[in-house]
Structure 1
Amino acid sequence: MQVHHLSHIDLDGYGCQLISRHFFQNIYFYNANYGKEVLARINAILNNINHSLESRLEDKFHFKTHNKFLILITDLNLSSSESRYLQERVDEMRLNGKDIQITLLDHHISGEESAKIYHWYYLDINRCATKITYETLQQNYPLLKPQDKDWLTPMVEMINSVDIWKENGFGFEFGKVAMSMISNSNELNRFMFDTEHRDYKLQLLKQAKNYLQQENGEILFDNEIFRLKKIALGGNPDTSTMDNIASNAQVKLLSAKKDQCTLDCGDKKGFLSYSMGGISVLANLFLNQNPEFDFYIDVNPRGNVSMRSNGKCDVSAMSKEFFNGGGHKNASGGKIEGFKESFLYEDIKSQIEQIFQNSRERKGI
C-alpha cells in the first residue's frame, strides 16, 4: 500500500507524521496550513496517485507501482466543500480502477459538519491529532519496529498534554518547549525545501525522546535545541555559527535545484527562489559558489521581489524595468504587478518567465 499523509504545520501536525512513519514504509508526506493551501496539497496527492503508475512519475518521485492507496489527513479540519471535493475526486479515480481509502483524523470542533456526513472523517475533540493517529494506527497496523512503542507512547502523551492544554498532564512543560521549537525551526524554507524542511523538524522532534523522561528534561532540551539544530543542519556546533551553518546548508540545497530554478533574462542567467527572505548573505554565497549565474532573485508570498548580483549585471536596472523597483547595482527590490499567490514553485517561476517574455515582445526581440 502506498500512503500519502497530509498534516498541519504545528507540533501536533508534525507529531502525526512522526507517528505514521513508524507504521508505513511506503509513505509520502505533505504539509499545509489552513486556507487555500489545503486544497493545493490535496490536489498534489490526487495527481500523484493518479499518475503513480506512469514511469515518468516513478522516475521523478521514486514511487513504486501500487494498486492500493491510503490518503491520510491529520490535524486539519476540512470544510464541507473541501470534503465533498475530495470525495468526488476519489470516487472518479475509483471508477478508473484505483483502490483508494481516505482516513481523516482530527480534533477540531470546526470539522463537525463534515464529520457527520463522511464516514472517513473521524473527529474526537478530547484527544490531540497525534494521539488519535497513534491509537488509530495501532488498532489497524503493526509498528515497523515494536520496540519503538517504548518512546513513542510518552512522546504522544507529551504532545497531547500541550496541544489540548492539560497543565497537569504528562510532559506539559516539555511540550511547551517542543511546540516553540517546531514553530521557530524555519532555517530551511518550507516552499523551496519541502522534504528537507519536514525532515529537519522531525529529526529535532525525535531528539526530544532523549530528554523527555529525564529530571528537568524540559530545561535540558531547551538548552540543547540550538546545538541540536546546528547538528541537524550538518554543521559543527563547536566551530561554526548558526548563520554560517544555515547558509551553507541552504546553498547546498539550492545548488542541487539549479536545473529547476534557472531563469534566462536576455543574455543573463538567473536563479529564482520563492519565499526565502533575508537573502543578502545567502544570495552572495550562492553566486560565489555558482559563478555561472549572473543574478539571484527571490519572490515572497506577497509578490515582493529581492534581487542580488555579484557585479555581473545591474539588478537595479532590471528591478526598475520588470518590477517597478530599484536600488543598488548589486542589490535591489521591487514588486510584481498583479501577482498571483501560489503554494507551488512552478507557478511563481511561470509568472516571472512571463514578465521577462512580455518585455522581450514589447521590444520586438
Structure 2
Amino acid sequence: MKIYHLSHTDLDGYSCQFVSNFYLKNIEFYNSNYGKEIDKKMSHIISKIGNDKAVILITDLNLTKTQCQSYEEQLKDKNVKLILLDHHQTGAECSQIFPWYYLDNSRSATKICYDFFSAMFGADERLEAYCNVVNAVDIWLKNDPNFELGKVCMGAIAGAKEINKVMFEKEHIEYIFYLIKNFCEFLSLNNAHIELDNRLHGIKKEFFYLKNDDTLSNLNSNYLVRHLTSNSDKFSIDYRGSRGILTYNIGSASVIGNDFLVANPEFKFFIDITSKKSMSFRSNGDFDVSQMAKELCDGGGHKNASGGFFAGFIDSYNYDEIKSQVVNLINKKTGEQ
C-alpha cells in the first residue's frame, strides 16, 4: 500500500515525516506552505493514485472547510484513506466536521505524529526524545530543558537551502532527514545546543562530501552539478540554436553556473530564475549572455555574467510550470518555436 505524506516546510513539518519514515515503508514525501500550495500538492498526489489502496497523510497543515470538502469529493471513487494530524487551532471547525481530521493544540504536530504511530508500532526512546525537542520549540515551551536545542534545530532546518526543493524534491527531503538524524546524536550531551551549533557546518559538509574536502559552497556546487548533469534533459532549454540549463532559486548562481558549464561544455549558457522574478545569466567562453539578457528581459551586464527582470513571471511550486514560462518568453522574443 502506497503512502503519500504531505507536511509543512519547517522543523515540525519535516520532523513529522521523519517519524513516519521511521515506522513506515513505501512513502512518498511532499511539502507545502499554507494556502494554494496545499491544493497544488494535493492535486498532484491525487493524480498519481490509481485503483490501488493508498493513504494520504497530512501533518502540520491546517485546512479550510472548502479544502476538506474538495479533497473528499476528489477521493470519493478511490480506495484511499485520508488522515490529518495537526495542532493549529484554526482547524477546530474542520476537526468537528470531518472524522479524518485530528486536532490537538496542546502538542506539536511531531509529538502528535509520534504518539499516533508509537501507539500502533511501539515506542522508541531516542525518537521520542527528539520529538520532545521539537515539541518544546514548536509550541514555545521556554522553560523546557529541550528548548535551546530545539531552537538550534529549528534554525538549521530553516537555513537548509542548499538543495532546492522545487527542482530536487527527493534529494531535498533526503538532506533534511540526514540533518535530523544527526540532531539525534546530540540528545544526551551536556550543552547539546552549543555542541550542535558548533558542529553544524561540518555536518552539512559531510552530506555533500564525495572524495576530497572543500568549502561547503564548493561541495554543494559539485553535488548540484552532478544532479543537474544527470537530469540535463529535464532542465535544458534552447536559445537561438544554443543549448543551456535553467534552474530555479538555485543559490550561488555564479559558482554553480560556472562549475556546471565547465563540466558540461556542450551547454553554452546557464540561467537561474528566482521567485522574485530576477534572472541571472552565466556563460563560460564566447557565448555572450549580455545580449541574451538584453533581448529576453531588457537586462544586461557582462559577456559571461548578466542579469535581468522577468516582469511577467508567475512564481510556481512546479518546475515544469516555471520552465514553460521561460521557454515561452524565449519563443516570443526570438520568434522561434
Bucket of the pairwise TM-score, normalised by the shorter protein? over 0.9
- Residue of structure 2 in register with 1:333 after alignment: 307
Residue in structure 2 matching 1:284, options 249, 255, 258:
258
Mapped partners of 2:33, 2:275: distance in 1: 14
* 1:4 counterpart = 2:4: yes
Could you tell me which residue of structure 2 aligns to residue 73 of structure 1?
Answer: 58
| 1:43 to 2:58 alignment | no
- Is the CA contact (8 Å cut-off) linking 1:157 and 1:170 kept in structure 2? no
Which residue identity does 2:239 align to in structure 1? C
2:160 matches 1:180:
no
Match of 1:194 in 2: 169
Given the alignment, which residue of 64, 72, 81 partners 1:87?
72
Q: CA offset at residue 71 of structure 1?
A: 0.3
5 Å-filtered alignment, 1:121-136, equals 121-136=101-116
Consecutive unaligned residues of structure 1, counting only runs of 5 or more, are: 54-66
Displacement of 1:120 in angstroms is: 0.8
2:293/2:306 contact within 8 Å kept: yes
Query: 2:195 — aligned with what?
Result: 220
Task: List runs of 5+ in structure 2 lacking aligned partners.
Answer: none
RMSD, aligned CA: 1.7
Q: TM-score, normalised by structure 1?
A: 0.88
Paired with 1:163 and 1:360, the residues of 2 have a C-alpha distance of 50
Cα distance in 2 for residues equivalent to 1:360 and 1:186? 34
Q: Which whole-Å CA distance do the structure 2 matches of 1:88 and 1:48 have between them?
A: 16
Partner residue of 1:169?
144
Q: Aligned to 1:21, what secondary structure does the other structure show?
A: helix
Q: In 2, Cα distance between the equivalents of 1:345 and 1:326?
A: 25
The answer to whether residue 126 in structure 2 is matched with residue 151 in structure 1 is: yes
Distance 2:209 2:47 in 1: 33
- Mapped partners of 1:335, 1:248: distance in 2: 27
Task: Provide Cα deviations, 1:141-185, integer angstroms capped at 9, x if missing partner.
Answer: x26xx7xx1211111111111111112324111111111111111
Conserved? CA contact 2:86–2:109, under 8 Å = yes
8 A Cα contact 1:200 1:233, kept in partner: no
Q: Deviations over 1:111-143 (max 9, x none)?
A: 122222211111100000001011112234x26
* Paired amino acid for 1:106: D
Contact 2:290 2:305 in 1 (8 A): yes
The percentage of counterpart residues that share the same residue type is: 41
Structure 2 CA distance for partners of 1:324 and 1:25, relative to 1, 3 Å? same
CA-to-aligned-CA distance 1:61-95 (integer Å, 9 cap, x gap): xxxxxx2100000001112222222111111xx2x
Structure 1 residue aligned with 2:135: 160
Letter in 2 for 1:287: L
Counterparts of 1:138 and 1:275 in 2: how far apart (Å)? 38
For residue 22 of structure 1, what is the aligned residue in structure 2? Answer: 22
| Secondary structure at 1:4 match in 2 | strand
Partner residue in 2 for 1:208: 183
The count of aligned residue pairs is 337
Q: Does the alignment pair 1:266 with 2:235?
A: no
How much has 1:236 moved relative to structure 2? 7.0
Instruction: Supply the distance in 2 between the matched residues of 1:235 and 1:204 (Cα, whole angstroms).
Output: 17
- Runs (4 or more) in structure 1 with deviation over 3 Å come to none
In 2, the alpha carbon distance for the partners of 1:359 and 1:244 equals: 35
Shift of 1:351: 1.0
Which amino acid in structure 1 is aligned with residue 25 of structure 2?
A: Q
Shift of the alpha carbon at 1:325?
1.1
**What per-residue deviation string (whole Å, max 9, x for no partner) do you get for residues 233-276 of structure 1?**
22579x41112111111111211210101111121111011111
- Amino acid across the alignment from 1:8: H
**Are the counterparts in 2 of residues 269 and 294 from structure 1 also a CA contact under 8 Å?**
yes
- What's the counterpart of residue 302 of structure 1? 276
Partner of 1:348: 322
Give the Cα–Cα distance (whole angstroms) in 1 for the partners of residues 310 and 304 of structure 2. Answer: 19
For 1:100, the equivalent position in structure 2 comes to 80
Change in CA separation of 1:179 and 1:337 when aligned onto 2, cut-off 3 Å: closer
Letter in 1 for 2:279: V
Contact 2:162 2:251 in 1 (8 A): no
Counterpart in the other structure of 1:240: 214
Distance 1:264 1:317 in 2: 15
CA distance in 1, matches of 2:225, 2:152: 29
Q: Within 2, Cα distance between the matches of 1:9 and 1:354?
A: 30
Q: Between 117-126 and 208-217, report the one with greater CA deviation.
A: 208-217
